[in-house]
C-alpha cells in the first residue's frame, strides 16, 4: 500500500508539552463505503481531539472500503528523548489475555488442549483437590475461583526499584520460573466454586501461561508467534520480560510509560519471567490481529463462535476479553478490549461485521473511557 504522509511542525526540544504529531493515510484498492466520513473529516476530527485532550500516543482506524488512518503524537521515551511514530510499539496490558486465549483456542483446534478438561490434565503436579475442579475454560473466563496471589508482589516492584534500581531478582523475590511461581502463588484455597462467579485477577493468566508452555514444550513467545502473530501478519508484536525497552524488543520504536501525577511511579510496572512476562504490539498490528481473527486465520469457525460467547453477562466477558453492543443497537456486536500497565493504556475495538476497527495507545496515563468515547465519535462521524 502507498503511504501519504501528513505532518505538523512542533517545538524542536522535547518536553512534556511538546506537540509533535504525524499521521498517515494508507491507500487501499477497495471502493469507499457510502455514509462514511471522508478521510479529511476523520483527520481533522482526530487532530482536534488530540489537541484538546492533550493526548500522547498513537491512533489507528480501519473502515471497510476506506483507507487506513494512523496518527502519532508526542513523546515515546522521556529518558531517551524520542518521539512516537505510527510504528511505535506499546505494552498491551490485559490485551495479552486476548492473545493468550486465541492461542489456547488455536491449540484446541489442533486437539492438543481441551477447554473443558481440568487443569490437572496438563499440570499433573498441581494441587489435585482444587485443580481437579478448575477447567481451562474457567481460567480463560476469569471464573476459576483462584485467589489473587500476585498483585501485591508485582505492585510493590516499582517503588522498590526506585529505592534500589540495582536490586537483583533474588532481592526482589522474583527469581523463579513460571512453574515455580504457580506452585508458590497460584495454589491457594478457592474463593468460590469454579464457574459460579467472576473474578478478574492475574492468577488465572499466570496459570494459563504455564499451561501453554507445558503443553507446547515451547516458550510463550514462540507459541504466540506460531498461533497468533505470524498467521495475522503481525511483524511488530512479541513478548517481553520486565521492561519493554529491554533486549526482547530489538530496534523497534518503543513507547515507555510516564505519569507526572503519580508520585511513586512514573512508568510501567515490571513484568517478570515468573508471571510469564507481557506482550507488546502497535496500532497497525492490532488492526491486523482483529481482521485475521475474524477471517478465521487464527481460530476455526466453531471455536470462534465459542470464543465470542459471553460467559459473564454483567461484565460482557467472553474468553480473554469483552464482547458488547452499544445501547440502541443490540444487533451489532463488538470485540471491546482494553489493557493497562502503569502509565500505559490501550483500547482496541472491532465491529464483528468487519465495518470498523479502532486502536488507541497512550503511554501517558490517558483515561480509557475517553479513548472509548473517541472511538464511538470516530465511527459515527457524519459524511
Residue 225 CA to residue 231 CA, distance in Å, equals 8
Average pLDDT estimate for 263-273: 75
Residue 55 CA to residue 133 CA, distance in Å, equals 46
At residue 19 the predicted structure's pLDDT band, cuts being 50, 70 and 90, is: very low
The DSSP H or E segment spanning 44 is helix 39-52
Cell of 355: 465495518
pLDDT reported for residue 297: 98
7: pLDDT strictly greater than 60: no
3-state secondary structure of 107: helix
Segments forming the whole domain that contains residue 211: 90-379
Residue 298 CA to residue 296 CA, distance in Å, equals 6
The answer to the question of residue 201 being in a domain is yes
Residue 43 CA to residue 23 CA, distance in Å, equals 8
How far is the first Cα of the chain from the last one, in angstroms, to the nearest whole number? 24
Best CA proximity match to 359, nearest among 368, 369, 370, 346: 346
pLDDT reported for residue 246: 63
At residue 194 the predicted structure's pLDDT band, cuts being 50, 70 and 90, is: very high
Percent of the chain with pLDDT over 90: 69
What is the average pLDDT score of the chain? 88
DSSP 298-313: SS-HHHHHHHT--SBG
pLDDT reported for residue 6: 28
Q: How many domains does the chain have?
A: 1
28: pLDDT strictly greater than 80: no
pLDDT reported for residue 165: 85
At residue 266 the predicted structure's pLDDT band, cuts being 50, 70 and 90, is: low
48: pLDDT strictly greater than 50: yes
DSSP 180-219: HHHHHHS-PPPSS-TTSS----HHHHHHHHHHHHHHHSS-
Enumerate the β-bridge partners of residue 339. Answer: 346
- CA-based torsion, 296, 302, 305, 309: positive or negative: negative
The answer to the question of residue 195 being in a domain is yes
The answer to the question of residue 4 being in a domain is no
The answer to the question of residue 204 being in a domain is yes
At residue 27 the predicted structure's pLDDT band, cuts being 50, 70 and 90, is: very low
pLDDT tens-digit readout, 59-99: 999 998 888 999 999 999 888 889 999 999 999 999 999 99
Average pLDDT estimate for 141-157: 91
Residue 11 CA to residue 18 CA, distance in Å, equals 6
At residue 21 the predicted structure's pLDDT band, cuts being 50, 70 and 90, is: low
At residue 184 the predicted structure's pLDDT band, cuts being 50, 70 and 90, is: very high
pLDDT reported for residue 81: 87
The answer to the question of residue 205 being in a domain is yes
Residue 23 CA to residue 2 CA, distance in Å, equals 14
The answer to the question of residue 243 being in a domain is yes
> Whole-model pTM?
0.89
At residue 259 the predicted structure's pLDDT band, cuts being 50, 70 and 90, is: confident
Residue 58 CA to residue 358 CA, distance in Å, equals 11
pLDDT reported for residue 16: 36
Average pLDDT estimate for 370-380: 95
Q: How far is CA 381 from the centre of its chain?
A: 26
Residue 46 CA to residue 54 CA, distance in Å, equals 12
The answer to the question of residue 310 being in a domain is yes
The answer to the question of residue 18 being in a domain is no
Maximum mean pLDDT: which of 7-11, 151-155, 179-183, 340-344: 179-183
Average pLDDT estimate for 309-336: 94
At residue 38 the predicted structure's pLDDT band, cuts being 50, 70 and 90, is: confident
pLDDT tens-digit readout, 105-127: 999 999 999 999 999 999 999 99
**CATH number of 271's domain:** 3.40.710.10
Asked whether the beta carbons of 46 and 378 are under 8 A apart, the reply is yes
Q: How far is CA 7 from the centre of its chain?
A: 28
pLDDT reported for residue 264: 54
Amino acid at each position: 500500500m502507498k503511504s501519504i504522509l501528513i505532518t505538523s511542525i512542533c517545538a524542536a526540544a522535547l518536553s512534556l508539552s511538546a506537540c509533535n504529531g504525524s499521521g498517515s493515510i494508507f491507500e487501499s484498492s477497495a471502493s469507499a463505503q457510502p455514509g462514511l466520513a471522508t478521510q479529511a473529516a476523520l483527520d481533522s476530527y482526530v487532530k482536534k481531539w488530540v489537541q484538546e485532550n492533550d493526548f500522547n500516543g498513537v491512533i489507528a482506524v480501519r473502515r471497510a472500503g476506506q483507507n487506513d488512518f494512523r496518527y502519532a503524537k508526542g513523546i515515546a521515551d522521556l529518558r531517551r528523548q524520542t518521539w512516537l511514530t505510527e510504528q511505535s510499539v506499546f505494552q498491551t496490558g490485559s490485551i495479552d489475555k486476548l492473545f493468550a486465549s486465541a492461542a489456547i483456542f488455536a491449540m484446541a483446534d489442533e486437539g492438543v488442549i481441551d477447554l473443558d478438561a481440568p487443569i490437572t490434565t496438563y499440570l499433573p503436579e498441581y494441587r489435585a483437590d482444587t485443580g481437579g475442579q478448575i477447567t481451562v475454560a474457567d481460567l480463560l473466563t476469569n471464573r476459576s475461583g483462584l485467589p489473587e496471589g500476585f498483585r501485591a508482589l508485582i505492585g510493590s516492584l516499582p517503588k522498590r526499584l526506585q529505592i534500589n534500581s540495582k536490586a537483583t531478582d533474588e532481592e526482589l523475590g522474583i527469581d523463579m520460573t513460571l512453574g515455580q511461581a504457580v506452585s508458590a502463588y497460584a495454589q491457594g484455597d478457592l474463593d468460590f466454586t469454579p464457574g459460579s462467579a467472576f473474578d478478574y485477577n492475574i492468577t488465572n493468566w499466570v496459570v494459563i501461561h504455564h499451561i501453554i508452555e507445558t503443553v507446547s514444550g515451547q516458550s510463550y513467545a514462540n507459541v504466540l508467534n506460531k498461533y497468533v502473530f505470524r498467521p495475522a501478519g503481525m511483524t511488530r508484536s512479541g513478548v517481553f520480560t520486565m521492561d519493554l525497552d529491554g533486549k526482547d524488543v530489538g530496534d523497534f520504536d518503543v513507547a515507555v510509560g510516564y505519569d507526572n501525577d503519580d508520585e511513586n511511579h512514573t512508568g510501567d510496572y515490571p513484568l517478570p519471567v515468573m508471571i510469564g512476562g507481557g506482550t507488546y504490539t502497535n496500532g497497525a498490528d492490532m488492526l491486523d490481529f482483529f481482521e485475521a481473527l475474524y477471517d478465521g486465520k487464527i481460530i476455526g469457525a466453531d471455536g470462534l463462535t465459542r470464543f465470542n460467547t459471553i460467559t459473564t453477562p454483567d461484565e460482557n466477558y467472553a474468553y480473554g476479553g469483552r464482547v458488547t453492543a452499544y445501547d440502541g443497537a443490540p444487533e451489532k456486536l463488538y470485540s471491546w478490549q482494553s489493557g493497562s500497565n502503569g502509565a500505559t493504556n490501550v483500547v482496541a475495538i472491532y465491529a464483528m461485521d468487519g465495518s470498523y476497527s479502532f486502536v488507541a495507545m497512550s503511554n501517558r496515563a490517558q483515561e480509557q473511557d475517553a479513548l472509548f468515547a473517541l472511538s464511538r465519535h470516530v465511527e459515527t462521524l457524519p459524511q
